[in-house]
């Protein structure tokens, strides 16, 4: 049954037909909302609300645009509504300065909604179906954490314009109509958004357009990184880090900058004699290498979920380490603890 027939049945109240017509767009809409909001949990909520609104308003869809575009419009406006009530999501380096001493504990009295990682296994669902959208929808250069942090610097409507134009691929006219602005205003918003991104993105972002699949050099770096963890070898770890490497640990506001500071931090905390052993299971998030991290259980007890660790590798060295110390995130990665 084609989309038109399914929607005709949906308009008459057939919920199964509605689910069949809209279900193939669900994950794609979730990725779109994740870019807007920086949170998988918030994105899931907005997509759920999008489908509820679409069901209630199904008779208003007349086929003047595609069903996909109509749903994108509802989802984008839902994300904009949420952004009116929520602070933008960042990483700790945009909130405060790094401590000069790894033993120093930073104090943050505010409540920051931190950026969250997105599992690659869910991104892969977007491009696995028969009617999959262009792979640009989940391309590395528009889903890596550095890009997401940069677009969080944009005002919400500029963010929406940039994502719809440069990621989803809508025309200036389509974007302006959906956001209820003039084409001229939309083009101006896009220009300002692009200028802001240039300030916050890594200088060599053009290199991201090459394949982001793990290559032999990257696999070697990851193997040596795991070996350094196994041996709690700060010197071996330091040899893998760029001089200007950055380590963050949301939801803690603490972060470290520089090879020596990061190596000292690991030696002082997770590798201290009193610390429980960290167990790493390889995965991927935001088209970047990542690890699900577990804490070794005591006296034969099962390992405990601890963190999702996302790396950015540049020129064969580790440039960023983002440790999301939120055990609940591991459920989204569907990774069992090591036996």
pLDDT > 70 in the chain, percent: 89
Which one is predicted more confidently, 330 or 206? 330
The DSSP H or E segment spanning 48 is helix 40-56
**Residue 339 to residue 336: CA distance in whole angstroms:** 8
pTM comes to 0.90
Question: Using one digit for the tens of pLDDT, what is the confidence trace for 288-310?
Answer: 999 999 999 887 788 999 999 99
**Residue 121 to residue 127: CA distance in whole angstroms:** 11
Question: Using one digit for the tens of pLDDT, what is the confidence trace for 118-157?
Answer: 999 999 988 776 555 667 778 888 999 999 999 999 999 9
Question: Using one digit for the tens of pLDDT, what is the confidence trace for 220-262?
Answer: 999 999 999 999 999 999 999 999 999 999 988 889 999 999 9
Q: What is the pLDDT of residue 131?
A: 59
Confidence of residue 327 (pLDDT cuts 50, 70, 90): very high
Assess whether pLDDT exceeds 60 at residue 211: no
**SS3 of 144, please?**
coil
Question: Using one digit for the tens of pLDDT, what is the confidence trace for 66-107?
Answer: 999 999 999 999 999 999 988 788 888 877 776 655 555 445
The DSSP H or E segment spanning 258 is none
**SS3 of 318, please?**
strand
Question: 246 — phi, psi (to 5°)?
Answer: -130, 140
- All structural domains of the chain: 3-86+117-207 (no CATH), 216-333 (3.10.450.50)
**Residue 280 to residue 54: CA distance in whole angstroms:** 42
**Residue 32 to residue 68: CA distance in whole angstroms:** 12
The DSSP H or E segment spanning 304 is strand 304-314
The residues, any chain, with a CB within 8 Å of residue 110's CB and separated by 6 or more, are none
- Counting DSSP H helices and E strands in the chain, the numbers are 14, 6
Question: Which pair of tokens denotes residue 71?
Answer: 């749903």
Q: What is the pLDDT of residue 209?
A: 46
Question: 37 — phi, psi (to 5°)?
Answer: -110, -25
Question: Using one digit for the tens of pLDDT, what is the confidence trace for 182-201?
Answer: 999 999 999 999 999 988 88
Average pLDDT of the segment spanning 309-317: 94
**Residue 164 to residue 41: CA distance in whole angstroms:** 21
Question: Which pair of tokens denotes residue 261?
Answer: 């500071």
């Amino acid at each position: 049954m084609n989309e038109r027939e399914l929607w005709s049945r949906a308009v008459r109240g057939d919920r199964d037909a509605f689910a069949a017509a809209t279900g193939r767009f669900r994950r794609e809409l979730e990725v779109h909302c994740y870019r807007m909001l920086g949170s998988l949990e918030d994105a899931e909520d907005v997509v759920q609300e999008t489908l509820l609104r679409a069901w209630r308003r199904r008779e208003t869809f007349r086929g003047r645009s595609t069903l996909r575009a109509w749903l994108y419009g509802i989802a984008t406006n839902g994300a904009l509504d949420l952004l009116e009530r929520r602070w933008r999501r960042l990483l700790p380096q945009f909130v405060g300065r790094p401590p000069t001493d790894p033993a120093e504990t930073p104090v943050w009295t505010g409540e920051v909604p931190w950026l969250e990682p997105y599992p690659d296994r869910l991104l892969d669902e977007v491009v696995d179906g028969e009617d999959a959208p262009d792979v640009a929808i989940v391309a590395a250069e528009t889903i890596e954490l550095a890009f997401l942090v940069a677009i969080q610097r944009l005002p919400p409507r500029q963010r929406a314009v940039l994502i719809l134009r440069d990621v989803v691929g809508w025309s200036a006219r389509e974007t302006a109509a959906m956001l209820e602005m003039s084409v001229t205003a939309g083009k101006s918003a896009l220009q300002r958004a692009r200028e802001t991104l240039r300030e916050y993105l890594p200088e060599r972002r053009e290199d991201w357009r090459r394949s982001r699949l793990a290559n032999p050099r990257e696999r070697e770096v990851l193997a040596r990184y795991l070996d350094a963890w196994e041996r709690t070898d700060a010197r071996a770890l330091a040899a893998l880090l760029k001089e200007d490497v950055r380590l963050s640990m949301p939801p803690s506001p603490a972060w470290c900058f520089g090879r020596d500071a990061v190596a000292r931090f690991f030696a002082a905390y997770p590798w201290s004699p009193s610390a429980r052993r960290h167990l790493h299971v390889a995965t991927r998030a935001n088209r970047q290498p990542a690890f699900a991290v577990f804490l070794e259980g005591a006296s034969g007890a099962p390992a405990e979920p601890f963190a999702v660790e996302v790396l950015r590798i540049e020129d064969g060295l580790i440039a960023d380490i983002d440790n999301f110390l939120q055990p609940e995130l591991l459920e989204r990665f569907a990774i069992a603890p090591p036996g």
